[in-house]
Amino acid sequence: MKTDFTTILSRLQSNYPFLKELDLSDQHITQSQIKNLIHSLIKNKHLTILNLKGNNIGDDGAILISQMLFYNTTLLEINLQNNNIKEIGRRALGRAIKMYRPLKISLIRNFILLGSVDNTVYHIIDDAKRE
Q: Which residues, in sequence order, are CB contacts of 85 under 8 Å at separation 6+?
A: 57, 58, 59, 61, 62, 107, 110, 111, 112
- Rounded mean pLDDT of 14-19? 92
Is position 66 within any domain? yes
Report CA Rg, the chain: 14
Provide the CATH number for the domain around residue 98.
Answer: 3.80.10.10
How many structural domains is the chain composed of? Answer: 1
Q: Order across the sheet with 21-23: list the strands.
A: 21-23, 49-51, 77-79, 103-106, 121-124
pTM above 0.85, yes or no: no
Residue ranges of E strands in 64-113: 77-79, 103-106
- Rounded mean pLDDT of 111-121? 52
Is position 112 within any domain? yes
Residue range(s) defining the domain that contains residue 106: 11-130
Is position 5 within any domain? no
Is position 117 within any domain? yes
Amino acid in position 120: T
- Rounded mean pLDDT of 91-119? 75
